[in-house]
Amino acid sequence: MSQTAITYRPDIDWLRGFAVLSVLFFHAFPAWIPGGYSGVDVFFVISGFLISTIIKQEVEENNFTLRSFYARRIRRIFPALILVMAATLGAGWLLLLDDEYKKLGNHAMRASVFLSNFTLWKEAGYFDEASELKPLLHLWSLAIEEQFYIIWPLMMNGLFKLGAKGGVTLGLLTLASFGWNLYISPIDSTHVYYSPLTRFWELMAGAFLAWHWAWIQSRINATTQEWLGLCGLLILFTGLWFLGHASGFPGAWALAPVLGAMALIASAGQLKWIGTLPAFRLFLWFGAISYPLYLWHWPILSFIRILEGTDHSISIRLSGVVASILLAAFTARWIEPYFRHGPINSRKIILLTFLMTLLLFSGYLINKRDGNFDRLPQKPHLILHQGSVGQSGFFAEIRAHYHECSNQRIRNDSGYFEGMSRCYESKSGQPSRILLLGDSHAEHLFPGFAKLLPDENISFYGKLGLPTLSNPNYKIVFEELKKSNQFEQIIISSHWHAEFNRKNPEIVKENLSGTLDFLLSEGKKIIILDDVHDFEFGPTECKYQRPLSSKSRCDVAISKYREQRSKYMHHLQSLASEHHGLSLVSVADALCSQTRCSMLHADTIAYRDIHHLNETGSLVVANHAIKQFFENRIWTRSEVRYEPPY
């Protein structure tokens, strides 16, 4: 097998060091370096440049073979990756709950065949857990890189056969990927983040630089190169702050780290004064261990988050950073050299492939067994609080005790999650006076209202997003409401703080106002409910006591809830004052005291995930809301029979 070397570039190792430290400190201390995530984009450019330089050299020397290329990729990527994945699965065996370990097994299985980005893309959504709770989440970027290198050697070989047109074609391919990134960014933030089609342009930007390297170097002098380097540094360092305030990344904002990295590489190390700085050699060292450091840092920080929650101290995070660096240094010194250096050895390639295949089947088995291997974390003596967590129990309750709505047109249009109806009635086929309208934050109140109002046929119609006339998801719902003589009372609830936070609040308020005008003109009485708290941890962290963890997390300071409510409450209050016939009712005290908000009610779990109630929570919050209806004289006991739960 052939082996190709390129001239050592200390400036590129420095850039690697910059990139990995940016990512490391962003994940450990995001407030310090809010744009540090852009280090991943810098890595893409570096990788595209270096690999394409090697391919170009081998093709020009008529020495390129796919066998040699992929053997080099295996011995470069696999050793550290296998070690980190095995260690992560081992730590998960000891520390994770069954559902968490099941998910980790699935992530390990996908990562072993470089499909992590597609798995995370599929998982992202309304019921997804916090990214910090996924110890192998960071492998999405490695997956995109390796997907690129599955096709890129053949494509680059084909581009060479086109001669001068090959460079033009490469530029057009890069622009096509970048153009798709720009187009899809405002439409689908998950797609633009995880799709290879919206990320390949960053690798191809480095490849474009490699392709035209000789031409570039022959046409710019040392002074120009130095200015390029200075511009690159300025872009990269300012991006560490300003990109933290950018929305829709990658989008057009990704040009900053990509152009900064390209400029610094194009400078060809002419910023010689950098080498006189004391930190230069330190950055070079971090550049040398950048790959294992990238692999180690996220699982360590993720397990700290899992064990200690969001309120852990700076010293604990610093210890995680130090541990990551030490493990990366060990991996770079003792593991990688055995496989990477010297002639390519077929036996070592076979061994690495076997070990990665073993991880593939280990992940499959963990996922297939639902993470349940009679391990310690979910032993009965570690259960601190009773209650149903997860989605299955809640929807089993809905299917067992309630009915799909009788309105055929809405029922046929109502599903927005596969396999889950979003149109319910508590009594089949009977007239309905009370309608719950909204997203899943209206839905999770449905069982509570249905149980507490036994004489009423409570209805729920729900779709994605806010229930407004401008939301096309609700078009059929509002058409039917206009025709219907039912639904004297409409209770609207939604994931308010998320909706007002991710959209222009004034536009959201304007859309709501128009919708309220429509409903009131139809003679409906409207009640708007505020929302319960969004936690940063899941209810499993409250239900179980983890090994090695000194605490169980069930509540947060009331200040966090007030901060969330501040995003939307004044807008709802303004709408209530502007619309006669609209009542605004708060459920803030249902699961909150004067100082804390809790996932528990009477020592029983009330949430099924970080921001959705389970059956217990639905009953508690609905009960609190109904009491407010009576106290505020929105309802009278002669109009509505109420059956208290306690």
Q: Return the closest-CA partner of residue 331 out of 282, 296, 287, 285.
A: 296
**Apex 56 CA angle, 50 and 60, nearest 5:** 150
61 & 106 share domain: yes
- Helix boundaries (H) for 185-221: 189-194, 200-211, 213-219
Does residue 174 form part of some domain?
yes
CA distance 547 to 382: 9
Last residue of a domain, one of 353, 368, 383: 368
pLDDT, average across residues 388-392: 88
Q: With beta carbons less than 8 A apart as the criterion, state whether 513 and 578 touch.
A: yes
81 & 182 share domain: yes
310 & 175 share domain: yes
Domains in the chain: how many in total? Answer: 2
Q: With beta carbons less than 8 A apart as the criterion, state whether 476 and 529 touch.
A: no
526: Cβ–Cβ under 8 A, 6 or more apart, which residues?
Answer: 490, 492, 516, 519, 520, 579, 581, 582, 583
Does residue 605 form part of some domain?
no
The one-character DSSP state at 333 is I
How would you label 98-132 residue by residue, b for 16+ Cβ within 10 Å and e otherwise? Answer: bbbbbbbbbbbbbbbebbbbbbbbebeeeeebbeb
Q: Looking at residue 598, what is its pLDDT?
A: 96
Q: Looking at residue 600, what is its pLDDT?
A: 96
CA distance 459 to 431: 10
345 & 426 share domain: no
The β-bridge partners of 361 are none
Reported as type and span, the H/E element at residue 279 is: helix 278-288
Distance of CA 641 to the CA centre of its chain: 44
224 & 125 share domain: yes
Last residue of a domain, one of 337, 368, 399: 368
Q: Return the closest-CA partner of residue 126 out of 380, 444, 555, 486.
A: 444
* pLDDT tens sequence across 501-560: 878 899 999 999 999 999 999 999 999 999 999 998 889 889 888 777 656 789 999 999
350 & 397 share domain: no
Does residue 379 form part of some domain?
no
CA distance 159 to 161: 5
424 & 572 share domain: yes
CA distance 592 to 555: 9
Q: Which of 117-131, 309-323, 535-549, 589-603 has the highest mean pLDDT?
A: 589-603
Averaged pLDDT of the chain: 90
pLDDT band (50, 70, 90) for residue 237: very high
Does residue 4 form part of some domain?
no
Assigned token pair, 524: 């409906």
Return the percentage of the chain with pLDDT > 70, whole number: 95
Q: Looking at residue 469, what is its pLDDT?
A: 93
424 & 363 share domain: no
Count the alpha carbons within 13 Å of 477 in the hemisphere toward its beta carbon.
30
Within 10 A of 409 (CB to CB), how many other CB atoms are there? 13
Exposed/middle/buried for residue 371 (C-beta within 10 Å: 0-12, 13-18, 19+): buried
Assigned token pair, 565: 């409510």
355 & 268 share domain: yes
- Helix boundaries (H) for 407-504: 408-413, 440-443, 446-452, 475-483, 496-502
CA distance 108 to 357: 11
452 & 338 share domain: no
Does residue 558 form part of some domain?
no
* pLDDT tens sequence across 551-594: 678 999 999 999 999 999 999 999 999 999 899 999 999 999 99
208 & 264 share domain: yes
pLDDT band (50, 70, 90) for residue 382: confident
150: Cβ–Cβ under 8 A, 6 or more apart, which residues?
Answer: none
CA distance 91 to 221: 53
The one-character DSSP state at 327 is H
- Helix boundaries (H) for 1-97: 10-28, 39-60, 66-95
Assigned token pair, 481: 């409401």
pLDDT band (50, 70, 90) for residue 106: very high
CATH, residue 460: 3.40.50.1110
Strands 582-585 and 596-598: unpaired
Does residue 302 form part of some domain?
yes
Strands 434-438 and 403-404: unpaired
Q: Looking at residue 541, what is its pLDDT?
A: 84
Assigned token pair, 591: 């699961």
Res 21 pLDDT > 90: yes
Strands 600-601 and 604-605: antiparallel
Q: Looking at residue 485, what is its pLDDT?
A: 78
415 & 267 share domain: no
Res 379 pLDDT > 70: no
Q: Identify residue 89 by its one-letter amino acid code.
A: L
Does residue 238 form part of some domain?
yes
Q: Cis link prior to 250 (omega < 30° from 0)?
A: yes
Beta strands in 535-638 (DSSP E): 555-557, 582-585, 596-598, 600-601, 604-605
Q: Return the closest-CA partner of residue 309 out of 607, 35, 597, 546.
A: 546
Structural domain including 460 reads 391-533+565-594+612-631
Q: Looking at residue 417, what is its pLDDT?
A: 44
**Apex 194 CA angle, 109 and 613, nearest 5:** 80
Exposed/middle/buried for residue 279 (C-beta within 10 Å: 0-12, 13-18, 19+): exposed
Q: Identify residue 59 by its one-letter amino acid code.
A: V
Does residue 545 form part of some domain?
no
Q: Looking at residue 420, what is its pLDDT?
A: 42
Q: Return the closest-CA partner of residue 141 out of 165, 123, 159, 115.
A: 115
In the numeric block, the tokens 């330190």 are attached to 282
Task: Indicate the Cα dihedral angle 434, 440, 441, 446, nearest 10°.
Answer: 40
Q: With beta carbons less than 8 A apart as the criterion, state whether 147 and 77 touch.
A: no
Question: What is the gyration radius of the CA atoms in the chain, in angstroms?
Answer: 28
Q: Looking at residue 415, what is its pLDDT?
A: 53
Q: Which segment of 152-166, 361-375, 419-433, 499-513 scores lowest on mean pLDDT?
A: 419-433
Q: Looking at residue 378, what is its pLDDT?
A: 64
Return the percentage of the chain with pLDDT > 90, whole number: 67
The one-character DSSP state at 256 is H
State the angle between helix axes of 278-288 and 290-308 in degrees (0 to 180), rounded to the nearest 10: 80
Please state the length of the chain.
Answer: 646
**Apex 515 CA angle, 513 and 517, nearest 5:** 70
Q: Identify residue 642 by its one-letter amino acid code.
A: Y
Q: Looking at residue 637, what is its pLDDT?
A: 86
Q: With beta carbons less than 8 A apart as the criterion, state whether 53 and 211 touch.
A: no
The one-character DSSP state at 27 is H
Within 10 A of 369 (CB to CB), how many other CB atoms are there? 13
